[in-house]
Amino acid sequence: MTGFLLRRLGGAVFVLLSLSVFLYLVFYVAPGNVAQIACGPRCSPAQVAQVHEQLRLGDPLWLQYAHFVQGIFAGRDYSSGVGVLHCNAPCLGVSYQSDQQVTQLILNKLPVTGSLVIGAFALWLLLGVGTGVLSVWRRGRPTERVLTWLTLAGTATPVFVIGLLLIIVFCSTLQWLPFPTYVPFGENPEQWAWNLLLAWVSLAAIESAKYARLTRSSMLETLAEDHVRTFRAYGVSERALVGRHALRGAVAPVIALSALDFGSMFGGAVLTESLFGLPGLGRELVEAVKVVDLPVVVGMVLVTGFFVVLANAVADLLYAVADRRVVLS
Partner 1 sequence: MPRTVISRRVAVVAASVALATAATACAGPQGDNAASASGAGGKAGAPQKGGTLQILNRQPQTDFDPARLYTSGGGNVPSLVFRTLTTRNRENGAAGTKVVPDLATDLGKPSKDATVWTYTLKDGLKYEDGTAITSADIKYGIERSFAAELSGGAPYLRDWLIGGADYQGPYKDKKGLDSIEVPDAKTIVFHLNKPEGEFPYLATQTQTTPVPKAKDTGAKYEEHPVSSGPYKVVKNENDGEKLLLERNPHWDAKTDEERKAYPDKIEVNSGLDPAVINQRLSASAGTDAAAVTTDNNLGPAELAKVAGDKKLADRVGTGHFGYTNYLAFNPKVKPFDDPKVRQAIAYAVDRSSVINAAGGSSLALPATTNLPPQKSFGYVKYDHFPAGESGNAAKAKELLKEAGHEKGLTITLTHSNAKDRETSPEIATALQDALKKAGITLELKGLEENDYNDTIHSVKKQPGFFLAHWGADWPSGGPFLAPLFDGRQIVKDGANFNYAQFDDASVNKEIDEINKLTDLDAAAARWGALDKKIGEQALTVPLFHPVYKRLYGKDVKNIVISDWTGVLDVSQVAVK
Partner 2 sequence: MSEALLAQEVGTAPAAVPASGARQFWRRLRAQRSAVVAASVVAFLVLVALAAPLLTALEGQDPNTFHPSLVDSAAGGVPLGSFGGISAEHWLGVEPQTGRDLFARIVYGARVSLGVAVFATLLQVFLGVVIGLAAGLGNRAVDQVLSRITDVNVAMPLMVIALALLAVVPPEFPRPVLIALVVGLINWAGTSKIVRAQTLALKSLDYVSAARLSGWGKWKIAHREMLPSLAAPVITYAALLVPQNITVEAALSFLGVGIKPPTPSWGQMLTDADVWYQAAPSYLLIPAALLFVTVLALTVLGEGVRTALDPRSQSRLGGVRRGLLSRRKGGAQ
Residues interacting with partner 2, by CB under 8 A?
11, 14-16, 18-19, 22-23, 26-27, 29-32, 139-140, 149, 152-153, 155-158, 160-161, 164-165, 168, 210, 213-214, 217-218, 220-221, 223-224, 229, 232, 238, 252-253, 256-257, 259-260, 264, 267-268, 270-271, 282, 285-286, 289-290, 297, 301, 304-305, 308-309, 312, 315-316, 319, 326, 329
**Total count of residues recorded for the chain:** 329
**Could you tell me the smallest distance in angstroms from the CB atom of residue 93 to partner 1?**
15
Q: Is 186 in the site for partner 1 (CB under 8 A)?
A: no
33 binds partner 1 per the rule CB under 8 A: yes
188 lines the binding site for partner 1 (CB under 8 A):
no
Of the pair 249, 263, the CB lying nearest partner 1 is at: 263
CB 264 within 8 A of CB 115: no
Residues 6+ apart with CB under 8 A from 161: none
With beta carbons less than 8 A apart as the criterion, state whether 12 and 306 touch.
Answer: yes
Q: How far is the CB of 7 from partner 1 (least distance, A)?
A: 26
Question: Residues in contact with partner 1, total (CB under 8 A)?
Answer: 70
Instruction: Give the one entry of partner 2, partner 1, none that residue 283 binds, where binding means its C-beta sits below a cut-off of 5 to 8 angstroms depending on kind.
Output: partner 1
> Smallest distance from the beta carbon of 164 to partner 1, in angstroms?
6
Q: Which of 174, 268, 304, 188 is nearest to 196 (CA)?
A: 188
CA distance 256 to 143: 28
Taking the C-alpha atoms of residue 316 and residue 328, their distance in angstroms, rounded to an integer, is: 7
End-to-end Cα distance, the chain: 9
Residue 76 partner contact from partner 1, partner 2, none using kind-dependent CB cut-offs of 5 to 8 Å: none
DSSP structure class, residue 170: I
Does position 92 interact with partner 1 (CB under 8 A)? The reply is no
Identify the sign of the CA torsion 98, 100, 103, 108.
negative
| Run of H or E including 78 | strand 76-79
Selected binder of partner 1 within 271, 310, 318, 328 (CB under 8 A): 271
DSSP 237: -
Q: Which of 1, 29, 60, 81 binds partner 1 (CB under 8 A)?
A: 81
